[in-house]
A = this chain, B = another copy of it.
Amino acid sequence: MMVLRAVCLLSGGLDSSTCLAIARQQGYDCRCLSFNYGQRHRIELAAAARIAEHLGAVEHRTISFDLRAFGGSALTSEAAVPKDRSAEDMTAGIPVTYVPARNTIFLSFALAYAEVTRSEDIFIGVNAIDYSGYPDCRPEFIHAFESMANLATKAGLEGSSRFKIHSPLITMTKAEIIRKAVALGVDLKLTHSCYDPDAEGHPCERCDSCVLRRKGFAEAGIGDPLLA
């Protein structure tokens, strides 16, 4: 039987955890990749490790580098994380939590990992519905990255692999993502979403990520086990 191999980007949040569960359901052996990039909410890495184990990943690697060297984002500098914005506020523009070229960097490392492990498939939990308006969460970006990836690599050049970037959540609402996660048996208590947690890792319940999470659970009619 042919082994299906995938690299799955995993932050430990709702979206990437659900994305991993979808890849597992589709029969992929999953190698998970997380990043310690100087984010203020690096506590999410502990959630990523829990989720990788919970969902039976073959391997979980964390790559470290420091995007604070560039700054330019509230997630990688001392700039304040916006609080108490409504989902509508979030659609007004790209917020200060945008990290320049973050998904490009993440997918580039995923591509390297995929090439080395002979994985043709890369899963990323981006979402262009209930999201913060980040440019690198849009389908156009994902398609452009996929085209580039197949020109960038030995595997692509030699035709031994055709890389595909899967973004199964891209047109789903947050409520749909939560329902999907529950249907697939993901223990959402293990996830972490907050951009600005306290020292013990408790969510602030006021940043964009917490607001979108709350809205999603409310719309799904499910209680958030993290707040129980």
- A135, CB-defined interface residue at 8 Å: yes
Q: Mark A124-159, 1 if CB is under 8 A from B, else 0.
A: 000000000001101011001101110111101110
Secondary structure at the A interface, as helix, strand, loop or mixed, is: helix
Query: Do A135 and B109 touch (CB < 8 A)?
Result: no
Interface residues on A, range: 35 or more
Q: CB-nearest residue of chain B relative to A158?
A: B94
Query: Do A157 and B144 touch (CB < 8 A)?
Result: no
For A145, the chain B residues whose CB sits under 8 A away are 148, 152
Q: Known contacts being A65-B63, A148-B145, is A135 close to B156, with CB within 8 Å? A: yes
A66 to B103, CA, bound (A): 18
- A123, CB-defined interface residue at 8 Å: no
A118 CB to nearest B CB, Å: 10
Query: Do B105 and A72 touch (CB < 8 A)?
Result: no
Query: Do A152 and B72 touch (CB < 8 A)?
Result: no
A64 to B68, CA, bound (A): 12
Residues of A participating in the B interface, judged by any CB pair closer than 8 Å: 61, 63-67, 69-72, 94, 98-105, 107-109, 111-113, 115-117, 135-136, 138, 140-141, 144-145, 147-149, 151-154, 156-158
